[in-house]
Amino acid sequence: MFRFNPSFTLIPLLLLIIAQSCPAAWRTGDTLPALDSFKLEGKLPDKLKGQVILLDFWASWCGPCKKSFPAMQELQKHFAGRGLVIIAVSVDEKRGDMERFLKGMDVSFTTVRDAEQKLVAAADATTMPTSFLIDRAGKIRFVHSGFLGDQTVKQYYEQIELLLKERAQ
């Protein structure tokens, strides 16, 4: 016998309300919001203004993320002295999962955790990893959904070179 459950009729309504109240996903040309307003766990770099930023969302359970970290480390070595800042944002629910992932990694770039899932929700980054390349003026210029090995690395190098040549406005 079927019993009426009022929560079944409320769920679609709640999902509709939530979807309409959430900010739109970040797009090319949008200004990167102030990262310090999202209560990230960990220390953000002191100087972001005027830098080219690679903002990467990742998770410990993500296979492609394990491959992207060595690539980001190479980008860090190659471009850091020229104005590139890499910020890797873990979306792991548990801090321990993030720490275990990072334990065997050679990482000299900033890693923080989005414990409250607010930044990843604002970006609407549903694929791991998802990265945003931000120019010196703070505008999102390139978005990468997933990590496709050498193809993505080549795109990173080309796009970062382009952004580093531009002046902040």
Give the tens place of pLDDT for each residue, 90-135.
999 999 999 999 998 889 999 999 999 999 999 999 999 999 999 9
Is residue 133 within 8 Å of 53, Cβ to Cβ?
yes
- Residue 167: predicted pLDDT: 80
95 is written with which tokens?
């801090």
pLDDT higher than threshold 50 for residue 19: no
- Residue 169: predicted pLDDT: 57
First to last CA, the chain: 67
Q: What is the residue-wise DSSP string for 39-70?
A: --BSPPPS--TTSEEEEEEE-TT-HHHHHHHH
- Lookup result for tokens 């002191």: 46
Question: What is the C-alpha to C-alpha distance for residues 70 and 104, in angstroms, rounded to an integer?
Answer: 11
- Residue 15: predicted pLDDT: 38
Q: What is the mean pLDDT of residues 25-37?
A: 92
Domain ranges of the chain: 26-165
Question: What is the C-alpha to C-alpha distance for residues 39 and 137, in angstroms, rounded to an integer?
Answer: 23
128 is written with which tokens?
């791991």
Least confident range from 10-14, 25-29, 33-37, 140-144: namely 10-14
Question: What is the C-alpha to C-alpha distance for residues 14 and 10, in angstroms, rounded to an integer?
Answer: 6
pLDDT higher than threshold 90 for residue 3: no
SS3 134: strand
Active-site residue set = 62, 65
- Across the chain, mean pLDDT equals 88
Least confident range from 6-15, 85-94, 125-134: namely 6-15
CATH topology of domain 26-165: Glutaredoxin (3.40.30)
pLDDT higher than threshold 70 for residue 23: no
CB burial of residue 13 (10 Å; 0-12, 13-18, 19+): exposed
pLDDT class of 83 with cuts at 50, 70, 90: very high
- Residue 141: predicted pLDDT: 97
